[in-house]
């Protein structure tokens, strides 16, 4: 049996992974599960699955986890702290690691899995955006296998020739076309974006996802991060990645070759498809997903994204071209700005405004090691928080004089 660790088991990707694993208990053994702060949901998963290990990155929530689990899982070792995730990623009895911790919090454990030579199922795109050269180098040096879980990158991977290597463009590949649903505001007039609520931004029309990625989809930052990720995964220049808005979310991405051939991967918008593909690759297993009915779908539409209305996409494209530490700063500012929007400290256009202000002040530079990445991440977060405080004070002053 294949030993599996699911880092981020309480999120949408983690829960989908457990659903697929439950359909194939004779093939996979869930060795470990981990989450960032959600003690309640992790405790329920521990009681159901009885894994050998369970961990919370947030040490302050560990006592709650122990109390909730109680004596219900006597053979489960409960761990806490960021180092616990790295420990799980390196376990000898784990051959496959699902890296689904959201944001920068998942970076160290993702790197640990790569350095340990695991089959790494990468759902944490921020790890590549922040430390792509380090992660790709670790994968290749340790002989790890990196399989992308984002539906778009998994689609590209499925359309590549056998034997494609991480970070190396296959011969004959001309470009890739990343599809985007366009999010809940794709047809909303630009002047109305200032009034949209977090609840409206979280209501994705096609996918069921976590809060942070749902907001990124609404701003199109998610597609910008995916562009950076695609360049690193497949050895492409930013100019070789085109973004297409595809409202139906049926064509997950396309690969164009120099002979004029264009290969696409299609399927229902359900994350269990790429998860099942990566778990069993190069074989195929049942995912539980509803099969695609093209007659029912009726039509497939495509159009160019509006980078003027959705500034986050243009900012990410610029960071991809600049390279080095710029994507690190972009990602840091975005995480802070999204948190502020969800807390109603920023309006929707304010997310892009904060990111742009922070990136413009960034010093750039090459990535020499993990310390460089972490320092740039901390600097980007600090500047984003300063910018948000300044914008909040300015809004208060304007309100007082209104």
Q: How many CB atoms lie within 10 A of CB 391?
A: 18
Same domain, 20 and 135: yes
Please give the Cα distance from 128 to 220 (Å, whole number).
18
Handedness of CA 217, 222, 223, 224 (dihedral sign): positive
Mean pLDDT for each 10-residue chunk of the chain (402 residues)? 96 96 98 94 97 92 89 94 93 97 88 97 91 94 96 96 89 96 91 94 81 92 95 96 96 98 96 97 96 93 93 96 95 96 96 96 85 94 94 60 48
Per-residue tokens: 304: 């160019």
DSSP per position, 142-206: HT-EEEE-SHHHHHHHHHSPTT--TT-PPTTEEEEEEEE---TTTTS-GGGGGG--HHHHH--SS
Same domain, 118 and 250: no
Does residue 284 fall inside a structural domain?
Answer: no
Which residues have C-beta within 8 Å of that of residue 76, sequence separation ≥ 6?
46, 50, 51, 52, 53, 54, 69
Same domain, 264 and 337: no
Please give the Cα distance from 42 to 37 (Å, whole number).
9
Pairing type for strands 53-56 and 145-148 reads: unpaired
Same domain, 109 and 175: no
Does residue 282 fall inside a structural domain?
Answer: no
* Nearest partner of 249 among 189, 157, 309, 183, judged by Cα: 183
Total domain count for the chain? Answer: 3
Please give the Cα distance from 130 to 329 (Å, whole number).
8
| SS (HEC) of 200-245 | HHHCCCCCCCCHHHHHHHHHCHHHHHHHHHHHHHHCCCHHHEEEEE
Secondary structure element (H or E) that encloses residue 18, with its range: helix 12-22
pLDDT of residue 397: 46
DSSP per position, 298-343: -----B---TTT-HHHHHHHHHHHH-TTHHHHHHHHHHHHHHHHHT
* CATH code of the domain containing 395: 1.10.1740.10
Please give the Cα distance from 53 to 76 (Å, whole number).
5
Does residue 276 fall inside a structural domain?
Answer: no
Same domain, 137 and 37: yes
> Do 100 and 149 meet the contact criterion of CB atoms below 8 Å apart?
yes
pTM of the model: 0.92
pLDDT tens-digit series, residues 99-113:
999 888 889 999 999
Does residue 281 fall inside a structural domain?
Answer: no
> Do 79 and 55 meet the contact criterion of CB atoms below 8 Å apart?
yes
Does residue 401 fall inside a structural domain?
Answer: yes
Look at residues 149, 171, 196 and tell me which one is the last residue of a structural domain.
149
Same domain, 315 and 390: no
> Do 33 and 50 meet the contact criterion of CB atoms below 8 Å apart?
no
Same domain, 314 and 334: no
Domain coverage including residue 396? 323-402
Same domain, 200 and 122: no
Does residue 361 fall inside a structural domain?
Answer: yes
Per-residue tokens: 1: 């049996």
Same domain, 314 and 368: no
User: CA distances (Å), 112 to each of 30, 117, 139, 148, 342, in order?
Assistant: 19, 9, 10, 17, 31
* Nearest partner of 256 among 179, 173, 180, judged by Cα: 173
Please give the Cα distance from 118 to 160 (Å, whole number).
22
| Helix, strand or coil, per DSSP, at residue 252 | strand
């Amino acid at each position: 049996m294949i030993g599996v660790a699911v880092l981020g088991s309480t999120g949408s990707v983690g829960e989908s992974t457990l659903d697929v694993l439950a359909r194939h208990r004779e093939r996979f053994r869930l060795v470990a599960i981990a989450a960032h702060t959600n003690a309640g949901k992790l405790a329920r998963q521990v009681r159901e699955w009885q894994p050998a290990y369970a961990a919370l990155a947030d040490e302050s929530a560990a006592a709650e986890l122990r109390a909730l689990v109680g004596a219900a899982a006597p053979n489960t070792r409960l761990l806490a702290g960021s180092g616990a995730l790295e420990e799980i990623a390196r376990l000898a009895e784990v051959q496959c690691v699902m890296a689904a911790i959201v944001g920068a919090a998942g970076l160290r454990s993702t790197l640990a899995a790569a350095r340990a030579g695991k089959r790494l199922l990468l759902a944490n795109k921020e790890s590549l955006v922040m430390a792509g050269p380090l992660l790709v180098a670790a994968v290749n040096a340790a002989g790890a296998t990196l399989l992308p879980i984002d539906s778009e990158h998994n689609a590209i991977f499925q359309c590549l020739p056998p034997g494609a290597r991480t970070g190396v463009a296959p011969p004959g590949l001309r470009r890739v076309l990343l599809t985007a649903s366009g999010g809940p505001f794709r047809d909303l007039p630009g002047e109305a974006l200032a009034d949209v609520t977090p609840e409206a931004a979280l209501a994705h029309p096609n996918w069921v996802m976590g809060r942070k990625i749902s907001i990124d989809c609404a701003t199109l930052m998610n597609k910008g991060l995916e562009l950076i990720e695609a360049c690193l995964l497949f050895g492409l220049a930013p100019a070789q990645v085109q973004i297409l808005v595809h409202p139906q979310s049926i064509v997950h991405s396309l690969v164009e070759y120099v002979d004029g051939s264009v290969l696409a991967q299609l399927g229902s918008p359900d994350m269990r498809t790429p998860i099942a593909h990566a778990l069993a690759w190069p074989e195929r297993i049942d995912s539980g997903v509803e099969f695609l009915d093209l007659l029912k779908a009726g039509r497939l539409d495509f159009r160019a994204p509006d980078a003027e209305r959705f500034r986050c996409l243009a900012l990410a494209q610029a960071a991809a071209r600049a390279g080095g530490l710029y994507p690190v700063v972009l990602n840091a500012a975005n995480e802070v700005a999204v948190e502020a929007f969800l807390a109603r400290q920023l309006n929707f256009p304010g997310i892009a405004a904060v990111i742009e202000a922070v990136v413009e002040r960034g010093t750039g530079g090459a990535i020499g090691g993990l310390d460089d990445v972490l320092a740039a991440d901390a600097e980007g977060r600090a500047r984003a928080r300063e910018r948000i405080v300044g914008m909040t004070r300015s809004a208060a002053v304007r309100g007082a004089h209104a």
